[in-house]
Amino acid sequence: MDRANKIYSRIISALSSERCPVCAMLYQDEFDSLCRWAGKSGETYRDSEQRIHLVNAGGFCNYHFWQFQRISSHYGTANVCIVLLVKLIAVLNSVKHKHNLNILSAENVMKCPLCYELKQKEAGYLKELTNILEDDDIKPKYVSGCGACMPHFIRLMDYSDDELLLEFLFDTQITQIARIKSDAEGFIRKMNPSSRWEQTKAEKKSWLLAIEKIAGKNGV
């Protein structure tokens, strides 16, 4: 299966995940990638292309470094950090007489390779999603799901100038948000123990879907 077909199939299955399809795919990508990084955290991978790339980037961003250490072994984390610490010592020694830390400014060091990888993938997913949604057979599947979270909905606008598709995306977004709102209201209305058993599945998870719709998946 070529890359384009693979992305197409993944989006189609993500549409039934009841989550923002782009967030759902990126969440899986992030986990898979963290596992690969953790798998190469041992001493034997010290000179690997991947490790050199990580060191040149100055390590992961704050979020991904802490995610990485949850998956990696303590020895793996120590191995990766030693190389970064060696680099930090070299940098500090090179600037200590100038008392100038511009070289360590956020713009210079925060080029997290995992953030970069996910950004690249996100662009590909958004582009393919707009292509897929041109298909009238797919549109009802998209409407019945969670649809794009607001951050991805906003970014989707950059990938199409088809007025009909944009109108469909806006109408769908409003319909889905109204549905989640209505489910959340039903969830609260039936909060008394005597009526809790009447809560629907959609109402029970409405609070979670509301956050995801507004803000996107945690950490993505």
Binding residues for Zn ion, rule: CB under 5 A, are: 20, 22-23, 61, 64, 112, 114-115, 149, 152, 216
Do 172 and 143 meet the contact criterion of CB atoms below 8 Å apart?
A: yes
Closest by CA to 25, choosing from 109, 122, 132, is 122
Closer to Zn ion by Cβ: residue 122 or 203: 122
**Residue 152 C-beta: closest distance to Zn ion, Å:** 4
Residue 4 one-letter amino acid: A
**Residue 1 C-beta: closest distance to Zn ion, Å:** 24
**Residue 188 C-beta: closest distance to Zn ion, Å:** 25
Do 79 and 42 meet the contact criterion of CB atoms below 8 Å apart?
A: yes
Closer to Zn ion by Cβ: residue 22 or 133: 22
**Residue 33 C-beta: closest distance to Zn ion, Å:** 10
Closer to Zn ion by Cβ: residue 7 or 112: 112
Q: How many CB atoms lie within 10 A of CB 52?
A: 12
Closest by CA to 12, choosing from 135, 183, 104, is 135
What distance lies between CA 103 and its chain's CA centroid? 29
Closer to Zn ion by Cβ: residue 64 or 179: 64
**Residue 215 C-beta: closest distance to Zn ion, Å:** 9
User: Which residue in the block uniquely carries the two structure tokens 């409003």?
Assistant: 174
Q: Which two tokens stand for residue 51?
A: 């490790």
What is the SS3 assignment for 149? coil
Do 64 and 71 meet the contact criterion of CB atoms below 8 Å apart?
A: no
Closer to Zn ion by Cβ: residue 96 or 119: 119
Residue 121 one-letter amino acid: K
